[in-house]
Amino acid sequence: MWEYAPAPESRAIANLKPSYRMFVDGEFVDGGGEPLKTINPATEEVLAEVATADKNDVDRAVKAARRAYDRVWGKMPGAERAKYLYRIARMIAERSRELAVLESLDNGKPIKESRDVDVPTASAHFFYHAGWADKLGYAGLGPNPRPLGVAGQVIPWNFPLLMAAWKIAPALACGNTVVLKPAETTPLTALVLADIIAQAELPPGVVNILPGAGDVGAELTNHAGVDKVAFTGSTDVGKLIQRSLAGSGKKLTLELGGKAANVVFDDAPLDQAVEGIVNGIFFNQGHVCCAGSRLLVAESVADELLAKLHARISTLRIGDPLDKNTDVGAINSKEQLTRITELVASGEQEGAEKWVSPCPLPDKGFFFAPTVFAGVSQAMRIAREEIFGPVLSVLTFRTPDEAVAKANNTPYGLSAGIWTDKGSRILWMANKLRAGVVWANTFNRFDPTAPFGGYQESGFGREGGRAGLEAYLDV
Amino acid sequence: MSERLSVAKTYKLYIGGAFPRSESGRSYPVRDSKGGFLANAAQGSRKDVREAVVAARKAFGGWSGATAYNRGQVLYRVAELLEGRREQFIAETAASEGLAAKRAQTVVDAAIDRWVWYAGWSDKIATVLGASNPVAGPYFSFSLPEPTGVVGVLAPQASSLLGLVSVLAPVIATGNTAVVVTSQDRPLPAITLSEVLATSDVPGGVVNLVTGATAELAPWLASHADVNALDLAGAPESMRTELEVAAAGTVKRVLRAKGTEPDWTAPPDISRLRAFLETKTVWHPMGV
Amino acid sequence: MAAPSTTSAGLPPALADATRDETSLRRFLHGLPGVDQVGVEQRAAGLATRSIKKASKLWAIDTAISMVDLTTLEGADTAGKVRSLCAKARRPDPERPEVPKVAAVCVYPDMVAIAVKETAGTGVGVASVATAFPSGRSSMRVKLADTEQAVADGATEIDMVIDRGAFLSGHYGRVFDEIATIKQACGGAHLKVILETGELVTYDNVRRASWLAMLAGGDFIKTSTGKVSPAATLPVTHVMLQAVRDWHDTTGDRIGVKPAGGIRNTKDAIRYLVAVHEVAGPEWLDNTLFRFGASSLLNDLLMQRRTQLEGHYSGPDYVTVD
């Protein structure tokens, strides 16, 4: 047996400090709220204390953003705004290792992912949007589209730095200023981004970062001085926000949950389909809104596929997120671990056949072994509710029409996957699937040029590409 | 204490990522606006143009095959290095064109910002010009802009840096490679620019610069069967028609020049991006 | 296509059916699942990011050394050259006797006799290329004579090339027959079947050729002759490792895999071992089931081995030229 020796990335480069402050009007300041302690979910140790905002802080930040908009940013030529965003993109790339290690410490995701996906994509997002700042007239939204003003943005814990980039870059490119609240369990990389923003000499008040919990988010999204709200998170909270903003005149975009179907036909390139399924549900521990959490496989190849899937999943390494050979990291919080456990129990109760990877798990921290349920039907909770963990529900179908019907049989509509060697079928399916993102013979591909967003209860509005600019312009 | 003598630069051609002298061994004196001697520049020959086209063709596959993001990053890097050499370019442009210091600054800053503008186009032009075509049948049809290939560029005669940047950047941002015949009387900023290109991750052969007599070199570029397009910006007015006639021999895409040289400081539109793009339309049935 | 040879005797019915005639063979091969190029290249690249350090690295280096088929296949080969190759094969690092021997030496058929003499009693195998290597463009008579000569001279392994022209024009039956015939001529020698993946080009073809070679009785499937570029690559080897894995799941038998050409350094070699480990399985991490066709790789392995043990970077003066 060949055991890979531990290959840990060094912690020191994350430059972890014992305490972090909020970023308001170009400076790091204390917060009026009760400081939160952010922990490393792989070890349960406290990483740092982080200042949080109270009502007055939210008000100060929104006013700072308004001043910056009125006096500086809203009037600045696009070509100059672009150069600030290019600087930020380049600096993220320069400090990429620091950010990747910090992200893995705070979030629990494997260093391989934060290093190879999260951080480079965040940099790319700033680089792409920098180029739009002085080209908005070409976006097909009118000859001289204007920004909205101050954007209040609330982001989730699953891709902390990347979600901050997805929010801040287009907002700034379009000429808005921003007040952003990172998730309460993962505030650190947003605050290092604030440091990068300060190093890039972005004018004070253009970006403000306020750590805190749901109450801070509510305060921010409801603040009268905010012109536009962008939220990524659970569908339940998304509905709350939409309700509270009704009649307010504030523009809103939502990116919520999903229960994506990954559809495998009998002529799929089978080994790559297995990779796509594995990536679809175990990438980022399954903490992905667009995760391929339902496998819809043609009944004629189901047994063969499941056998290959079990074998492949058994080679996944679950463990220390900082180990370069770790494939699946820690669940982000105890709360989330509890939720996953509860839903898995419901699966067993409702009669699905459970298979669990035989991989060893660390003895502390929040970890969950990759799990596959076969014999799932659409009526089961594990087929309908978003688990947001490394749990795959497998259903079968007989014909393409049946696959479409089952795939669409959900109030969600964020993403879907299609696996087949037949081009016309890919295009036919893509046309029929009610999902904002369709991946054919691949999965979990993200690019700043390609719009991302959902149908129905997965939210509305798009991020990335030309379509994503619309959210931040008065059009 | 005696004055220190500077180490004078030798200005050579830029072909295939290297700096060769002209194979003809010729050079010619370059003078400033008052007639003072600046330097000798290589006087390129038709064989130099031929080698440049070979280099540009060789580089096309890799450059057009790179991701648009990568091309954008490379172009942005060029801007970073231009910024670092801002003072050098201000001095060189001022001397070349007889500009006052402030005007030279404006021109150089505009040239740097123009590189940044075009860097940001490389991963957006497909979105702006491409389309999915709603054809009347069960087909998925899309159209994409693709680079045409090797573009021959006659760089503006008067604006030796900003004009050059304004015609060169849009050619390569979209994945084409370029063979540029520089301004005949003001070639020096172009060669200094090529030093920046050589040190900023631009692959050898993507840009090739030949200095020399425009009237001698342009016809060889215009008639070359392995050049796909021709930019007549710096062509002497008297030659424009004959060059277009020569280009017609291989049905090149020709970007005509308008009258006299424009004010290059004005913000550009995307016509120079569109000029060297082909549109490819693809159809595929949609069905189970 | 000739009647099925004894090789198909032990096959499960579905596979035996496939070898009944060329039409059945074609249907079977074309019925295998396709390989998505982007997907397989991404998986191979992902596996290549594994970080193998310390004890696991040392183990990998020693294992890789034991898997080397130390090769010389040049027109200019002489008795002298083969002798020094064999000396290196027996004792890769003269100052470190504990370094494992390589698995085999690999030479042209007319050099086999010398190689057999120089490796006698050492346990190092003698592999001979055969069947009009590297092009495979000659008559069956010549290819058979090639093989018989090498076997008669004592080769313990035969590395044959398939007829790529026949494969690419769809004459799978001819390719099958040639392999089966050569396998018979091997006697006790084991047969490696070189697919020349650089000429097959698509991963779909590599998968089909792998299955064809296994159906026809090959003991090993090998990527390349090393004379054509590209030679071995991680994704191509990945596809072949998947094929032997699937073959094992279907028949219970294990076939070996040998990437050859283009594997120049330890970092590459370790990446291949990771692929073997995670795609085929740990059972394949043995020189009876995996080999490296290489020449300059060995010295890099030896230098890296020294680095691991001595704690500082080594240099080319501390390893021997062949």
User: Do A251 and A376 share a domain, yes or no?
Assistant: no
Residue A255 is a catalytic residue: yes
CA-CA distance, A468 to A453, in Å (whole number)?
A: 9
Q: Is B263 exposed, middle or buried (0-12, 13-18, 19+ CB in 10 A)?
A: exposed
pLDDT for A381-418, tens place per residue?
Answer: 999 999 999 999 999 999 999 999 999 999 999 999 99
A424 to B285: CB separation less than 8 angstroms, yes or no: yes
Q: Name the residue facing A130 among B113, B120, B286 (closest C-beta).
A: B120
Read off the pLDDT band of C7 (50, 70, 90): very low
CA-CA distance, C247 to B83, in Å (whole number)?
A: 60
Instruction: Enumerate the residues of chain B whose CB falls inside 8 A of the CB of residue A134.
Output: 117, 120
Catalytic residue among A255, A386, A457, A463: A255
Model pLDDT, residue A98: 98
Q: Name the residue facing C49 among A112, A270, A271 (closest C-beta).
A: A112
User: Do A40 and A189 share a domain, yes or no?
Assistant: yes
**Chain C (45-104) residues lying within 8 Å, Cβ to Cβ, of chain A:** 49-57, 59-60, 63
| Shortest CA gap A289–chain C (Å) | 22
Strands A150-154 and A177-181: parallel
pLDDT for A206-249, tens place per residue?
Answer: 999 999 999 999 999 999 999 999 999 999 999 999 999 999 99
CA-CA distance, A364 to A43, in Å (whole number)?
A: 6
User: Do A251 and A319 share a domain, yes or no?
Assistant: no
Instruction: Enumerate the residues of chain A whose CB falls inside 8 A of the CB of residue B120.
Output: 82, 130-135
Please report where in the chains the tokens 């049809």 appear, as a residue: B141
Instruction: Enumerate the residues of chain A whose CB falls inside 8 A of the CB of residue B116.
Output: 79, 82-83, 86
Q: Name the residue facing A400 among B117, B124, B288 (closest C-beta).
A: B288
Instruction: Enumerate the residues of chain A whose CB falls inside 8 A of the CB of residue C54.
Output: 5
**Chain A (77-116) residues lying within 8 Å, Cβ to Cβ, of chain C:** 112, 116
Instruction: Evaluate whether chains B and C are touching (3 or more beta carbon pairs less than 8 Å apart).
Output: no
| CATH of span B27-285 | 3.40.605.10
Around Cβ A446, how many Cβ atoms within 10 Å? 17
Q: What is the ipTM metric for this complex?
A: 0.94
Task: Note whether B225 contacts A: Cβ–Cβ < 8 A.
Answer: no
User: Do A158 and A100 share a domain, yes or no?
Assistant: yes
**Closest of C309, C280, C275, C233 to residue C61, by C-alpha:** C309
pLDDT for B47-60, tens place per residue?
Answer: 999 999 999 999 99
Model pLDDT, residue C6: 41
Residue C210's domain comprises 60-312
C39 to A272: CB separation less than 8 angstroms, yes or no: yes
Which residue from B minimizes the CA distance to A126? B120
Task: Note whether A144 contacts B: Cβ–Cβ < 8 A.
Answer: no
Residue C28 lies in a domain: no
User: Do A156 and A192 share a domain, yes or no?
Assistant: yes
Residue A5 lies in a domain: no
Which residue from B minimizes the CA distance to A89? B73
User: Do A316 and A431 share a domain, yes or no?
Assistant: yes
Task: Note whether A325 contacts C: Cβ–Cβ < 8 A.
Answer: yes
Please report where in the chains the tokens 């179907």 appear, as a residue: A261
Residue C33 lies in a domain: no
- Alpha-helical (H) ranges within C54-195 are 54-66, 79-90, 112-119, 140-152, 164-168, 172-186
Please report where in the chains the tokens 């900003």 appear, as a residue: B162
Could you give the number of structural domains in chain A? 2
Per-residue pLDDT of chain A (475 residues; tens, 9 = 90+): 799 999 999 999 999 999 999 999 999 999 999 999 999 999 999 999 999 999 999 999 999 999 999 999 999 999 999 999 999 999 999 999 999 999 999 999 999 999 999 999 999 999 999 999 999 999 999 999 999 999 999 999 999 999 999 999 999 999 999 999 999 999 999 999 999 999 999 999 999 999 999 999 999 999 999 999 999 999 999 999 999 999 999 999 999 999 999 999 999 999 999 999 999 999 999 999 999 999 999 999 999 999 999 999 999 999 999 999 999 999 999 999 999 999 999 999 999 999 999 999 999 999 999 999 999 999 999 999 999 999 999 999 999 999 999 999 999 999 999 999 999 999 999 999 999 999 999 999 999 999 999 999 999 999 999 999 999 999 9
CA-CA distance, A140 to A469, in Å (whole number)?
A: 10
CA-CA distance, A104 to A329, in Å (whole number)?
A: 9
C206, C207, C213, C218: CA torsion to nearest 10: 100
pLDDT for B164-210, tens place per residue?
Answer: 999 999 999 999 999 999 999 999 999 999 999 999 999 999 999 99
| Inter-axis angle of helices C112-119 and C79-90, nearest 10 | 30
pLDDT for A155-198, tens place per residue?
Answer: 999 999 999 999 999 999 999 999 999 999 999 999 999 999 99
User: Do A107 and A53 share a domain, yes or no?
Assistant: yes
Q: Name the residues of C annotated as catalytic.
A: 159, 222, 258
**Closest of B33, B42, B41 to residue B93, by C-alpha:** B33
Task: Note whether A140 contacts B: Cβ–Cβ < 8 A.
Answer: yes
Residue A446 lies in a domain: no
Which residues have C-beta within 8 Å of that of residue C232, sequence separation ≥ 6? C197, C223, C224, C259, C260, C261, C262, C263, C293
How many Å separate Cα A437 from the centre of its chain?
14
Coil, strand or helix at C96: coil
Residue A448 lies in a domain: no
Residue A450 lies in a domain: no
A275 to C55: CB separation less than 8 angstroms, yes or no: no
Which residues have C-beta within 8 Å of that of residue B214, sequence separation ≥ 6? B154, B157, B181, B184, B234, B235, B236
Residue A7 lies in a domain: no
We report the CATH number of the domain holding residue C193 as 3.20.20.70
User: Do A281 and A246 share a domain, yes or no?
Assistant: no
Phi, psi of A464, rounded to the nearest 5 degrees = 100, 155
pTM confidence score: 0.95
Read off the pLDDT band of C1 (50, 70, 90): low
SS (H, E, C) chain A: CCCCCCCECCCHHHCCCCEECEEECCEEECCCCCCEEEECCCCCCEEEEECCCCHHHHHHHHHHHHHHHHHHHCCCCHHHHHHHHHHHHHHHHHCHHHHHHHHHHHHCCCHHHHHHHHHHHHHHHHHHHHHHCCCHHHCCCCCCCCECCEEEEECCCCCHHHHHHHHHHHHHHCCCEEEEECCCCCCHHHHHHHHHHHHCCCCCCCEEECCCCHHHHHHHHHCCCCCEEEEECCHHHHHHHHHHHCCCCCEEEEECCCCCEEEECCCCCHHHHHHHHHHHHHHHHHCCCCCCCEEEEEHHHHHHHHHHHHHHHCCCCECCCCECCCCECCCCCHHHHHHHHHHHHHHHHCCCEEEECCCCCCCCCCCCCCEEEECCCCCCHHHHCCCCCCEEEEEEECCHHHHHHHHHCCCCCCEEEEECCCHHHHHHHHHHCCCCEEEECCCCCCCCCCCECCCHHHEECCECCCHHHHHHECC
A5 to C54: CB separation less than 8 angstroms, yes or no: yes
One-letter amino acid at A327 equals D
Widest distance between CA atoms in chain C: 60
Could you give the number of structural domains in chain C? 1
User: Do A230 and A305 share a domain, yes or no?
Assistant: no
Instruction: Enumerate the residues of chain C whose CB falls inside 8 A of the CB of residue A116.
Output: 49
User: Do A297 and A425 share a domain, yes or no?
Assistant: yes
For C242, the enclosing helix (H) or strand (E) is: helix C234-251
CA-CA distance, B130 to C29, in Å (whole number)?
A: 39
Residue A46's domain comprises 12-256+455-472
C43 to A1: CB separation less than 8 angstroms, yes or no: no
We report the CATH number of the domain holding residue A401 as 3.40.309.10
Q: Name the residue facing A2 among C38, C49, C282 (closest C-beta).
A: C282
Burial C156-185 (b: 16+ CB within 10 A, else e): bbbbbbbbbebbeeebbbbbbbbbbbbbeb
Residue C215 lies in a domain: yes
Phi, psi of C288, rounded to the nearest 5 degrees = -80, -10
Give the single-character DSSP code of C260. Answer: B
Residue A221 lies in a domain: yes
A324 to C50: CB separation less than 8 angstroms, yes or no: yes
Instruction: Enumerate the residues of chain C whose CB falls inside 8 A of the CB of residue A5.
Output: 52-57
User: Do A51 and A95 share a domain, yes or no?
Assistant: yes
We report the CATH number of the domain holding residue A171 as 3.40.605.10
